[in-house]
Amino acid sequence: MSIDLKTIKHISKLSRISVDEKKAEKLAGDLNSIFDFIEKLNELKTDNVEPLTSVAETTLKLRSDEVKSKNLRDQVIKNSPKENEDYFVVPKVIE
Amino acid sequence: MSEVIKQSLSELVENIKSKKLSSSEVTKAFVERSEKSKELNAYITEDYANALNKAKKFDEKPNLDLKLPGIPMAVKDLFCTKDLRTTAGSKILNNFVPTYESTVTQNIWNEGAILMGKLNCDEFAMGSSNETSFFGNVQNPIDKNLVPGGSSGGSSSAVAAQLTPITIGTDTGGSIRQPSSFTGTVGLKPTYGSCSRYGIVAFASSLDQAGPMAQNVKDCALLQEVISTYDEKDSTSIDFKRNEYSKELTKDIKGKKIGIPKEYRVDGMPKEIEDLWKKGIEYAKDCGAEIIDISLPHTNYALPTYYIVAPAEASSNLARYDGVKYGFRAEGENLIDMYEKTRSEGFGAEVQRRIMIGTYVLSSGYYDAYYLKAQKVRKLIKNDFDDAYNKVDAILTPSTPSSAFKIGEKTNDPVSMYLNDIFTVPVNLAGLPGISIPAGHDAKGYPLGLQIIGKAFDEQNILNIAYAMEEKINFKNNITDWWIK
């Protein structure tokens, strides 16, 4: 398998990471060597194996549905790079 | 009484409890040592003035019933600390000041310990050499320009150089055990679900675990006892009966069955590692353990599995860094442009690489071929351990396939960097506890570690084995203080 520049551009769009030509070429090289290494898994037949989604073999605990922390507005907004009163500010979305 | 910074955690606790030392004396000694050791670059954020104040307050009204009375401690900068900057080694969190405390660090302060500062680490814990940190390389106190391992490289360097009596790291694929091995210190990765993940900057949520990094096994057991608690704020925290690990620690491991997995004899493994392992087997026998050959047939598939599962989870976890809610923001022409520039300028190369791998293996058309396949192989790897534990109580392996390497030696070859974790990654995939203890030196005089892997929730057993073997090994770290002028 080979990851070409078109695929890199596609993944970069999905990842929301901008990538210029030079970076795309470097990434294609790195990702191809990593995927060559990953391809080893194809040696194994796994048709009848159940996927492992969690090593913690417990069911989620139930708890009563009550609010434990509230009035966190100031804390939530404290680290925002840009805010206005109680709102996060982002570039204009609707023209 | 020996010099303060040379004392182990257990000795310091004892001396504070018996009033031979005050918290201020101890804190001052470690702060001074840390200040003289800037060249190691072990700290990202120092909090010395506050630490000295807290020590003074502790001494005014000492509570000597606590487990860590007035003990100063620096922690990995992946743990959120209320009102103290937490960066995860990344530019994107350069100005992030948490408004809450991680459960693990809160447990430590509840027992009387005092925060000294935040320790360097690979960016978002992604790395094996601490070279991916936005805040620069960390020096291994063993030798100049030697990596301290990673991702908990600031932690391993700080413990080995005695800048902090003990510390905590996190381990997703070896990030506690490998740096411990590279610096001649002891590091425990607990069972998945043992220590709460609440307030730890997330990397790969099904693998991440916090654990102690110490100068010796007894100290390690004491800190594990403090940090391991059930926490309803972490939905994967497990409610099981936890031991008082340090009190129940024993060197009596007579009759314990220890497995030696033949698949860990990998191609190209240096003879020194092979010899160390043989020596380890002899030590275990001397302690009265019974050695049994076992097989973990899917060992070779662990790293490829890890490099699908971990990046997939990371790409999902790191989607939160969008320049809106917290962290660094780059200006853009529109919202999408702002996201893309923020993430491109805010994340380093290794983190971007892993986000891209993760995004790819989860993307439409590739999910079954990669992610689902990896989850199935992960099951096979876990089954290997389950089968082995029908025959043995613990497993003994080398911690790493080599000793520490030079800064810059592996930065251009991601796959050779990933191979560092070949012996540690299977343990994370299976959710098991593993401990690395220093066991010898290579020809260059660099430390080498042995790993003891246990059954899930059986931390006490591997701590006991490590405690017994530690006495036989009688390892001495050779640190010359070369960085102090």
pLDDT, residue A58, reads 75
The number of distinct structural domains making up chain B is 1
pLDDT, residue A29, reads 94
* Interchain CB distance below 8 Å, A90 and B430: no
Contacts of A61 in chain B (CB under 8 A): 232, 235, 239
* Interchain CB distance below 8 Å, A15 and B359: yes
Check whether A2 has a pLDDT greater than 90: no
Check whether A95 has a pLDDT greater than 80: no
Distances (CA, A) of B144 to B63, B405, B482: 41, 11, 8
Contact status, residue B90 vs residue B123, Cβ threshold 8 Å: yes
Please state the ipTM of this predicted complex: 0.95
| CB-closest option in A16, A60, A72 to B343 | A16
Contact status, residue B296 vs residue B263, Cβ threshold 8 Å: yes
Residue B344: closest C-alpha in chain A: A17
Calpha distance B453→B396 (Å, rounded): 6
Contacts of B418 in chain A (CB under 8 A): 34, 37
Contact status, residue B353 vs residue A31, Cβ threshold 8 Å: yes
pLDDT, residue B130, reads 97
pLDDT, residue B266, reads 86
Check whether A1 has a pLDDT greater than 80: no
Q: Considering the domain boundaries, does residue B49 fall inside one? A: yes
What order of strands is seen across the sheet that includes strand B434-441? B167-171, B209-214, B186-189, B434-441, B447-454, B394-398, B257-261, B290-294
pLDDT, residue B114, reads 98
Q: How far is A18 from chain B (nearest CA, A)?
A: 5
| CB-closest option in A40, A78, A90 to B324 | A90
* Interchain CB distance below 8 Å, A34 and B355: no
| CB-closest option in B96, B327, B340 to A16 | B340
Q: Considering the domain boundaries, does residue B161 fall inside one? A: yes
**What phi and psi values does residue B398 have, to the nearest 5 degrees?**
-65, 155
Contact status, residue B68 vs residue B226, Cβ threshold 8 Å: yes
Contacts of A80 in chain B (CB under 8 A): 324-326
Return per-residue pLDDT of chain B as tens, 485 residues. Answer: 789 999 999 999 999 999 999 999 999 999 999 999 999 999 999 999 999 999 999 999 999 999 999 999 999 999 999 999 999 999 999 999 999 999 999 999 999 999 999 999 999 999 999 999 999 999 999 999 999 999 999 999 999 999 999 999 999 999 999 999 999 999 999 999 999 999 999 999 999 999 999 999 999 999 999 999 999 999 999 999 999 999 999 999 999 999 999 999 988 888 999 999 999 999 999 999 999 999 999 999 999 999 999 999 999 999 999 999 999 999 999 999 999 999 999 999 999 999 999 999 999 999 999 999 999 999 999 999 999 999 999 999 999 999 999 999 988 888 888 888 999 999 999 999 999 999 999 999 999 999 999 999 999 999 999 999 999 999 999 899 999 98
Calpha distance B378→B299 (Å, rounded): 10
* Interchain CB distance below 8 Å, B332 and A52: no
Q: Considering the domain boundaries, does residue B416 fall inside one? A: no
Calpha distance B25→B79 (Å, rounded): 26
CATH number of the domain where residue B210 is located: 3.90.1300.10
* Interchain CB distance below 8 Å, B359 and A90: no
Q: Considering the domain boundaries, does residue B227 fall inside one? A: yes
Q: Considering the domain boundaries, does residue B247 fall inside one? A: yes
- Reply yes or no: is the peptide bond before residue B416 cis, omega within 30 of 0: no
Range of the domain at B112: 12-255
